[in-house]
Protein backbone atom coordinates (compact mmCIF):
# COMPACT_ATOMS: atom_id res chain seq x y z
CA UNK A 1 0.00 0.00 0.00
CA UNK A 2 1.44 3.37 -1.00
CA UNK A 3 1.44 5.94 1.78
CA UNK A 4 2.35 9.59 1.77
CA UNK A 5 2.57 9.73 5.59
CA UNK A 6 4.32 7.36 7.97
CA UNK A 7 2.78 7.54 11.45
CA UNK A 8 4.92 6.13 14.27
CA UNK A 9 3.12 5.50 17.56
CA UNK A 10 3.07 2.57 19.97
CA UNK A 11 -0.43 3.47 21.21
CA UNK A 12 -2.78 1.67 18.82
CA UNK A 13 -5.78 3.83 19.72
CA UNK A 14 -3.88 7.10 19.21
CA UNK A 15 -2.44 5.81 15.93
CA UNK A 16 -5.83 4.68 14.63
CA UNK A 17 -7.42 8.00 15.59
CA UNK A 18 -4.70 10.04 13.86
CA UNK A 19 -4.84 7.75 10.81
CA UNK A 20 -8.59 8.37 10.52
CA UNK A 21 -8.05 12.13 10.80
CA UNK A 22 -5.34 12.08 8.14
CA UNK A 23 -7.33 9.74 5.85
CA UNK A 24 -10.22 12.21 6.02
CA UNK A 25 -7.74 14.94 5.13
CA UNK A 26 -6.97 13.10 1.89
CA UNK A 27 -3.78 11.33 2.92
CA UNK A 28 -2.78 7.69 2.82
CA UNK A 29 -1.15 6.60 6.05
CA UNK A 30 1.11 3.72 7.02
CA UNK A 31 1.40 2.99 10.75
CA UNK A 32 4.54 1.73 12.47
CA UNK A 33 4.30 0.77 16.13
CA UNK A 34 7.83 1.85 17.04
CA UNK A 35 11.00 3.46 15.72
CA UNK A 36 12.65 0.21 14.66
CA UNK A 37 9.63 -0.85 12.61
CA UNK A 38 9.49 2.61 11.04
CA UNK A 39 13.19 2.56 10.10
CA UNK A 40 12.84 -0.91 8.58
CA UNK A 41 9.87 0.26 6.53
CA UNK A 42 11.70 3.40 5.39
CA UNK A 43 14.51 1.21 4.03
CA UNK A 44 12.06 -0.79 1.91
CA UNK A 45 10.99 0.03 -1.62
CA UNK A 46 7.41 0.44 -0.34
CA UNK A 47 8.45 3.67 1.39
CA UNK A 48 9.21 5.62 -1.77
CA UNK A 49 5.86 7.42 -1.62
CA UNK A 50 6.34 8.62 1.99
CA UNK A 51 6.55 12.40 2.00
CA UNK A 52 6.25 13.09 5.74
CA UNK A 53 6.71 11.33 9.09
CA UNK A 54 4.69 11.91 12.25
CA UNK A 55 6.12 10.36 15.40
CA UNK A 56 5.31 10.17 19.06
CA UNK A 57 8.12 10.86 21.51
CA UNK A 58 7.47 8.27 24.22
CA UNK A 59 7.80 4.78 22.79
CA UNK A 60 9.40 1.63 24.18
CA UNK A 61 12.80 0.56 22.90
CA UNK A 62 13.60 3.61 20.80
CA UNK A 63 12.05 6.91 21.76
CA UNK A 64 11.15 9.57 19.21
CA UNK A 65 14.39 11.53 19.45
CA UNK A 66 16.53 8.41 18.89
CA UNK A 67 14.31 7.45 15.94
CA UNK A 68 14.51 10.93 14.40
CA UNK A 69 18.27 11.14 14.94
CA UNK A 70 18.76 7.82 13.14
CA UNK A 71 16.36 8.79 10.36
CA UNK A 72 18.10 12.13 9.79
CA UNK A 73 21.37 10.31 9.01
CA UNK A 74 19.62 8.65 6.06
CA UNK A 75 17.22 11.41 5.01
CA UNK A 76 17.82 15.03 5.92
CA UNK A 77 14.95 16.50 3.89
CA UNK A 78 11.93 14.42 4.92
CA UNK A 79 9.55 16.59 6.98
CA UNK A 80 9.05 15.22 10.50
CA UNK A 81 6.40 16.15 13.04
CA UNK A 82 6.93 15.12 16.66
CA UNK A 83 3.86 14.96 18.88
CA UNK A 84 4.38 14.67 22.61
CA UNK A 85 2.51 15.21 25.83
CA UNK A 86 5.79 16.26 27.42
CA UNK A 87 6.84 19.86 26.81
CA UNK A 88 10.25 19.33 28.41
CA UNK A 89 11.47 16.91 25.71
CA UNK A 90 11.49 19.43 22.86
CA UNK A 91 15.15 20.23 23.49
CA UNK A 92 16.03 16.63 22.55
CA UNK A 93 15.10 17.54 18.97
CA UNK A 94 17.35 20.59 18.61
CA UNK A 95 19.25 20.57 15.31
CA UNK A 96 17.12 17.69 13.97
CA UNK A 97 14.87 19.91 11.81
CA UNK A 98 11.51 18.77 13.19
CA UNK A 99 8.20 20.44 13.89
CA UNK A 100 7.40 19.80 17.56
CA UNK A 101 3.83 20.03 18.85
CA UNK A 102 2.39 19.32 22.28
CA UNK A 103 -0.53 16.88 22.54
CA UNK A 104 -3.42 17.08 22.54
CA UNK A 105 -3.30 18.64 19.10
CA UNK A 106 -6.66 19.48 17.43
CA UNK A 107 -7.45 17.51 14.24
CA UNK A 108 -8.03 20.57 12.06
CA UNK A 109 -4.69 22.02 13.14
CA UNK A 110 -2.96 18.71 12.40
CA UNK A 111 -4.38 18.64 8.86
CA UNK A 112 -3.39 22.29 8.28
CA UNK A 113 0.13 21.66 9.60
CA UNK A 114 0.59 18.60 7.39
CA UNK A 115 -0.65 20.46 4.29
CA UNK A 116 1.73 23.33 5.05
CA UNK A 117 4.73 21.07 5.61
CA UNK A 118 4.06 19.05 2.47
CA UNK A 119 3.75 22.19 0.35
CA UNK A 120 6.91 23.65 1.90
CA UNK A 121 8.75 20.37 1.35
CA UNK A 122 7.80 20.32 -2.32
CA UNK A 123 9.28 23.81 -2.75
CA UNK A 124 12.50 22.77 -0.93
CA UNK A 125 13.14 19.77 -3.14
CA UNK A 126 11.99 21.25 -6.46
Q: Is the model's pTM score more than 0.85?
A: yes
Looking at residue 122, its pLDDT comes to 65
CB 57 within 8 A of CB 46: no
Q: Is residue 62 part of a domain?
A: yes
CB 113 within 8 A of CB 82: no
More confident: 2 or 60: 60
Residue 99 sits in which domain range?
Answer: 5-121
Cis peptide before 104 (omega within 30 of 0): yes
Q: Is residue 83 part of a domain?
A: yes
The neighbour count for residue 82, using CB atoms within 10 Å, is 24
Q: Is residue 113 part of a domain?
A: yes
DSSP states of the chain as a string?
---SEEEE-S-HHHHHHHHHHHHHTT--EEEESSHHHHHHHHTSGGGGG--EEEEES--SSS-HHHHHHHHHHH-SSS-EEEEES-GGGGGGGTTS--EEEESS--HHHHHHHHHHHHHHHHHHH-
Q: Is residue 9 part of a domain?
A: yes
Q: Is residue 67 part of a domain?
A: yes
Q: Is residue 126 part of a domain?
A: no
Overall average pLDDT of the 95-121 stretch? 93
Please report, rounded to a whole number, the percentage of residues in the chain having pLDDT higher than 70: 94
**In CATH, what number is assigned to the domain containing residue 17?**
3.40.50.2300
* 26 Cβ contact list (under 8 Å, min separation 6): none
52-93: per-residue pLDDT in tens? 999 999 999 999 999 999 999 988 889 999 999 999 999 999
35-46: per-residue pLDDT in tens? 999 999 999 988
Q: What's the domain count of the chain?
A: 1
Please report, rounded to a whole number, the percentage of residues in the chain having pLDDT higher than 90: 82
More confident: 6 or 1: 6
Amino acid sequence: MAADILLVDDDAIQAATRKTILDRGGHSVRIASDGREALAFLQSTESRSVRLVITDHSMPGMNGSAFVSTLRKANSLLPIVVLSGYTDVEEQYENLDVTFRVKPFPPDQLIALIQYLLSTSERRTA
